[in-house]
Amino acid sequence: MKIQAPKGTKDVLPEESYIWQYVESKFRQICKLYGYQEVRFPTFEYTELFQRGVGETTDIVQKEMYTFLDKGGRSITLRPEGTASVARLFIEHGFASRPMPQRLYYIISAFRYENTQGGRYREFHQFGIENFGSKSPVTDAEIISLSYNFFVSLGLDNIVVNINSIGCPVCRKDYVKNLKEYFLGYYDKLCPTCKQRLDKNPMRILDCKEDNCKLIAQDAPKPIEYLCDECKTHFEALKGYLDAAGVCYRVDPYIVRGLDYYTKTVFEIVDVVLDKELAICGGGRYDNLIEQIGGSSTPGIGFAIGVERLIMLLSQKGLIPQKPQVPQVFVATLGDLATKKAFEIASTLRFEGISTVIEELSRSLKSQMKYADKLGCDFSVIIGDDEIEKGVCKLRNMKTSSEEVVRIESLAQYIKSKI
């Protein structure tokens, strides 16, 4: 039986890998512009990190984690997201004593055992940002603007940032009490998962994807109506800064986000595809996360972008740039002496930054040209014993099939002037 890639995973072929490189380089560029630096961390962590960091009552921890015992009997989990790991890294390396705030970014694969419909994968990728050490709404506005401008730099000009505030533990107490009472009135109509949520984390019901629960949630009390003075001031200030930064946003009082650690600001960036809103970025403030996993109290805020979804969106909108031509030049050879010369020529061309391949299979000239054509090369360099003696080569323009004789020492400059 043929072995296939596991369900929910995806190979990235050369036809597509350049798109990944493109979005990655754009993301690195914007991070640099906003003063963010990259961190890299393990693909797996001790399970406890996510149980405490993501939260026991979340979908991720309850049903989506890839967890197993390693040979030493330790419970290990493949990272389902990045924030908990970056928070762990922050504590482990004593980042609290570095200048604040700390601005960090990452590009990772993440693993969730999910149904694989609708563009969902079991291994997927995220671009993420975390800012630690600032409580100020200026920081909320900065990271939202970073993300917004990243999408704009990719040509997405129709995006909207949906923002909300879910308050802090102080204002949430009163809110959750009222929310519970509201949902209790509809207990029989809630889905089985939400029935459980009602007890453990009723706010999660607002995030349920079941139609019935969505309908009931429509008239539920909103966190924004219960904000304490501090949270209210924070939210108002954020809106003011977003206006100043020219970010297009909308208050959506029903965003609660899927993770337990959020406080105050939560947001999603969406684009509209075929009349449906598609979330490509989710984030929020998590002022209690570092403490929750054993560090000293440090505020933080971050977001994650789903890379597969982003690429899908770019392709639906015709925003994928043309694939760069690789290789640009094919060096054809006739005979052993010419093969040796081909190494020399190829290395000079590569030194000059021209992407070059040489014939490796000793085929006939006709087959070599067919191959160069299939590769899409701009030029082929043809060398035989005759040409070597004269210090020249034939340069064939693969688009027009015209050929000219060029001196080997001026070949690189000549090709550069033509491509």
Q: Which chain residues interact with ligand ATP by CB under 6 A?
A: 81, 112, 114, 120-121, 124, 126, 258, 279-282, 304, 306, 308-309
Min CB(257)–ligand ATP separation in Å: 6
| CA atoms of 130 and 84, how far apart (whole Å) | 10
The nearer residue to ligand ATP, 102 or 162, going by C-beta atoms, is: 162
Min CB(126)–ligand ATP separation in Å: 5
User: Do residues 394 and 344 touch, judged by C-beta distance below 8 A?
Assistant: no
Residue 232: CA count within 13 A, CB half-sphere: 7
The nearer residue to ligand ATP, 290 or 313, going by C-beta atoms, is: 313
By C-alpha distance, which of 139, 145, 78 is closest to 114? 78
The nearer residue to ligand ATP, 78 or 415, going by C-beta atoms, is: 78
In this structure, the dihedral spanned by the alpha carbons of residues 127, 133, 137 and 138, taken in order and rounded to 10 degrees, is: -80
Min CB(258)–ligand ATP separation in Å: 3
User: Do residues 54 and 82 touch, judged by C-beta distance below 8 A?
Assistant: no
Q: Is the dihedral of CA 108, 109, 113, 115 positive or negative?
A: positive
Min CB(374)–ligand ATP separation in Å: 34
Closest residue (Cβ) to ligand ATP?
Answer: 306
Three-state DSSP state, 413 = helix
The nearer residue to ligand ATP, 162 or 333, going by C-beta atoms, is: 162
Min CB(318)–ligand ATP separation in Å: 20
The nearer residue to ligand ATP, 10 or 340, going by C-beta atoms, is: 10
By C-alpha distance, which of 26, 251, 256, 258 is closest to 161? 251
Element (H, E) at 75: strand 75-78
Three-state DSSP state, 395 = strand
Min CB(382)–ligand ATP separation in Å: 48
Q: Tell me, what amino acid is at 286?
A: Y
The nearer residue to ligand ATP, 126 or 134, going by C-beta atoms, is: 126
Element (H, E) at 369: helix 365-375
Min CB(1)–ligand ATP separation in Å: 27
Angle between helix 14-33 and helix 137-153 axes, rounded to 10 deg: 140
Min CB(128)–ligand ATP separation in Å: 8
The nearer residue to ligand ATP, 202 or 306, going by C-beta atoms, is: 306
β partners of residue 299: none
The nearer residue to ligand ATP, 129 or 304, going by C-beta atoms, is: 304
Residue 287: CA count within 13 A, CB half-sphere: 17
For residue 150, give both structure tokens. 């990243």
Three-state DSSP state, 146 = helix
Min CB(109)–ligand ATP separation in Å: 11
The nearer residue to ligand ATP, 309 or 341, going by C-beta atoms, is: 309
